[in-house]
Amino acid sequence: MSLWTGCGPRALSRLVSRRRWAGVFPVTPATLLAWHRRRAARKYDTSGRRRPGAPCLAVPGIKRLVLRLARENPLRGHRRIQGELVKLGIAVAPPTVREILHAAGTDPAPRPPGPTWRQFLRAQAAGILAVDFPHAGTVLSKRLHVLVLIEHGTRRMHLGGITANPSGERTVQQARNLALRPDQRFEEFRFLIRDRGSSFTASSDGVFQAGGTRILVSAVQAPRMNAICERLAGTLRREVPDRMLILNAAHLRTVLTVVPQASRPDPLPLGVTRTEP
Q: What is the mean pLDDT of residues 39-52?
A: 71
User: Is 234 in a helix, a strand, or coil?
Assistant: helix
CA distance 73 to 147: 44
With a threshold of 0.75, does the pTM exceed it?
no
Q: What is the mean pLDDT of residues 44-54?
A: 62
User: Is 225 in a helix, a strand, or coil?
Assistant: helix
Give me the chain's average pLDDT, please. Answer: 77
- Residue 25 banded pLDDT, cuts 50, 70, 90: low
pLDDT at 263: 41
Percent over 90 (pLDDT), the chain? 1
Q: Tell which CATH architecture fits domain 121-263.
A: 2-Layer Sandwich (3.30)
CA distance 152 to 120: 12
Q: What is the mean pLDDT of residues 245-263?
A: 77
Listed range (107-121, 139-153, 206-220) with the worst mean pLDDT: 107-121
DSSP string across 39-95 = HHHHHH--TTTS-SSSPP---HHHHHHHHHHHHH-TT--HHHHHHHHHHTT----HH
Q: What is the pLDDT of residues 117-149, one digit of tens each?
A: 777 767 778 888 899 988 888 888 889 999 888
CA distance 248 to 62: 71
pLDDT at 272 over 60: no
Q: What is the DSSP letter of 226?
A: G
User: Where along the chain do its domains lie?
Assistant: 3-44, 60-103, 121-263
Count Cα neighbours of 46 within 13 Å in the Cβ-side half-sphere.
Answer: 4
| Highest mean pLDDT (candidates 16-25, 83-92, 107-116) | 83-92
Instruction: Please enumerate in sequence order all residues whose Cβ is within 8 A of that of 98, keeping only pairs 6 or more positions apart, or say none.
Output: 78, 108
Q: What is the mean pLDDT of residues 243-256?
A: 88
